[in-house]
Structure 1
Amino acid sequence: MNQQIPKKMLGMKLPGGAKVESCECDVPVPGHGQVLLKMKAASLCGSDLKYIYFEHTDKTGGARYDNVIAGHEPSGQVVSVGEGVTDFKEGDRVVVYHIQGCGYCDECKKGFFINCQQPQRRAYGWQRDGALAEYMVADTSTCIHLPDFLTYEDGAMIACGFGTAYQGLLRANVSGRDIVMVMGLGPVGQAAIMLAKAMGAKAIGVDISPERLEMAKRIGADEVVQGGEHAVSEVMNLTEGKGVEAAVDCSGSSIGRHQCLEVARMWGNVVFLGEQGTVTFEPSPLLLHKNLTLHGSWVTSVGNMERLVEFLDRKKIHPSDIITHRFPLKETDKAFEVFATGKTGKVCINHEME
């Protein structure tokens, strides 16, 4: 490529208090086993919004260091490689799994860096510089090749949200035999709708937001139901009173979680994906007597993300279809303001808009 790499770059940090701070900083140099990426797309995540942009507190476990460049949904092009790198070269297009673990614990050996409990665990945009900059250093163990069909925006969608939705559907063993209800149609919920459909299932989307119900229709939901006290009866009517084989909660709300248990049919699967919140329910009628399997699911593994990339390429699906707003890097503050309204699909920083 012989691309000229500057010495300085623009980056974005989240100091809390619903603010975004821009900074000029040195372009990083890749070390052993690392690559330097020119960022092409970086999308915003609800966890950044909840835990850093607003509160600037850590409720998900593990220390978060201040003064790091934000963003953990990166997709970009390799412009420089460090020592010992053999599987990536300059010009390669990549999506980045957003956490590097210690590499030696049981969870890391399985590729679930997200579950690493060791102090070496570092997430991009949380404990190490992330995607909301012109350049980013990434460990090759977290990099996945991006096929030509998938755009850089597609890659950013895969980096966290689609991977999370995919893992949840895998936990429920979703197939073409199933009706899947997705509760909460934010970006992860929209991803779950798209992926459930690609797996052959019938998909029902539930949300309190009319805007997000319309989005779900556009991306292929078979049915959409207005969230609220009548949602359960409407879903039961749509399933001839039997309920759904899989209910996936992406809302994180107590009502949403409870309604997932209510609409799941006998021997069904319920997956809790949405963060925060609480839920209280009676185990006997809602779980035990229905023989339900209740799964907690958090992100995915590197291996499953690689398989997701292959699946999307094979099915010719663009995850970027759920993007509703795009901004250049220098307007990251506006991007967060819009995302915080709760009425968007995915909001993406497109570095090529500069």
Structure 2
Amino acid sequence: MEGTMKGAYLPGNSTVVLKDVPIPKPGHGQVLVKMKACTICGSDIRAIYREHIGKGPEGYQNVIAGHEPCGQVVEEGPGIRRFKKGARVIVYHISGCGVCHDCRMGYMISCSSPLRAAYGWQRDGGMAEYILCDEKDLVELPDSLSYADGAQVACGFGTVYEAITKVGVSGNDAVLVVGLGPVGLAALMLCRAMGANKLYGIEGNPVRIELAKKLGLADKVLTPADSNVDEIKALTNGKGVERAFDASASDPGRVTAIRATRQWGKIALVGEGGTVHFNPSPDILHDQKTIYGSWVTSIWLMENLVEELVRWNMHPDLLVTHRFPLDKASEAYKLMADGNCGKVAICADEELK
């Protein structure tokens, strides 16, 4: 495919720059994907959009932005084995070396090679008309899921699913989610599907509180306060929840998640950045609690998640509150940075409805 396309770049001063660039040509083992939907992640805002603070895996290399891409294969390079022209695909957003220990487990997010390159960070991402992808980085998108569903799986829902599989969630569990941005809302959706018997949230943004209520995701949403731990314990017969997830990335939010969890409970820290200060003996050791760190997911678990979404008839795009065409990417990023929204997506014309 010849010609040029538009791509969105993030200079790091809370602006977006659209550039005309050549449409890439797929090489061996690569495909060209027509972008249908690419959602904006909070990590983009934190580490790239406002200023370039990311280092290492989060070091932005002035490439086309967007690490939550989903689209359709329109051109094949030589050597393609599975994802042929016409395939609907989600892009696992880290392209690993493929031969280190973590890549061989499917956790390209933790690839230890200098060849590791994340879409939208070190190689061109999905905020463009087309994206060049290695076939090994693709996950099939079933016909029953929308492209916006798939974009959500590419990062946010995949990240939450990984955390849930680490701590385990079932009908035995009351669950607390601190921070109801897109990742926290995704946690509520997935925990509900996996049978959690009570779901509680903590959030201060009225727009996001309203979204959680509108979608029926939580039994109760509290606003952030020093009394949150006591409130959660009052809701759980004085015991606390069996499972807690922090998606707030705030010090007090993380402490609340830890202290509102009951004896032998499990806590997953998912939100990026920030700090946490707690007292190990009373907060963790004496109550035999376990804290898990969780970073994105593996490509095989992402494939499992897609299968589960079809089985549950669950559509992550319910969390997409705003859709923009590529030429309005500046408005989209500003809205996401302001936070008065659910998930924000850049979409092809046919996906804007």
Shorter-normalised TM range: over 0.9
Percent of aligned pairs with the same residue? 51
Q: 1:234-273 residue pairs with structure 2 within 5 A?
A: 234-273=231-270
State the alpha-carbon separation in 2 of the partners of residues 185 and 63 from structure 1. 23
State the alpha-carbon separation in 1 of the partners of residues 335 and 225 from structure 2. 25
**How large is the RMSD of aligned CA atoms in angstroms?**
1.2
Going from structure 1 to structure 2, the CA distance change for 1:65 and 1:226 (only over 3 Å counts) comes to closer
Aligned to 2:33: 37
Cα-to-partner distance string for 1:19-51 (whole Å, 9 max, x where unaligned): 100000110011111111000000000111111
Contact 1:11–1:133 (CA under 8 A) maintained in structure 2 = yes
Deviation at residue 67 of structure 1 after TM alignment: 3.0
Aligned to 1:215: 211
Going from structure 1 to structure 2, the CA distance change for 1:65 and 1:280 (only over 3 Å counts) comes to closer
Task: Flag structure 2 segments of 5+ consecutive residues without an equivalent.
Answer: none
| Letter paired with 2:3 | K
Deviation at residue 6 of structure 1 after TM alignment: 4.6
**2:206 equivalent to 1:182:** no
Contact 1:15–1:66 (CA under 8 A) maintained in structure 2 = no
**2:325 equivalent to 1:323:** no
State the alpha-carbon separation in 1 of the partners of residues 232 and 60 from structure 2. 44
**2:155 equivalent to 1:155:** no
Contact 1:58–1:64 (CA under 8 A) maintained in structure 2 = yes
Equivalent pairs counted in the alignment come to 349
Aligned to 1:80: 75
Deviation at residue 150 of structure 1 after TM alignment: 0.4
Contact 1:100–1:113 (CA under 8 A) maintained in structure 2 = yes
State the alpha-carbon separation in 2 of the partners of residues 232 and 210 from structure 1. 21
Q: 1:278-289 residue pairs with structure 2 within 5 A?
A: 278-289=275-286
Aligned to 1:305: 302
Q: 1:160-175 residue pairs with structure 2 within 5 A?
A: 160-175=155-170
State the alpha-carbon separation in 2 of the partners of residues 203 and 281 from structure 1. 24
Deviation at residue 85 of structure 1 after TM alignment: 0.6
State the alpha-carbon separation in 2 of the partners of residues 142 and 66 from structure 1. 20
Cα-to-partner distance string for 1:88-144 (whole Å, 9 max, x where unaligned): 111110111000111111110100000012100000011100000000011111101
Aligned to 1:296: 293
**2:273 equivalent to 1:276:** yes
Aligned to 2:90: 95
**2:259 equivalent to 1:226:** no
**2:23 equivalent to 1:27:** yes
Task: Flag structure 1 segments of 5+ consecutive residues without an equivalent.
Answer: none
The SS at the match of 1:159 is: helix
State the alpha-carbon separation in 1 of the partners of residues 227 and 207 from structure 2. 19
Deviation at residue 63 of structure 1 after TM alignment: 7.0
Aligned to 2:346: 349
Deviation at residue 215 of structure 1 after TM alignment: 1.2
| Letter paired with 1:102 | C
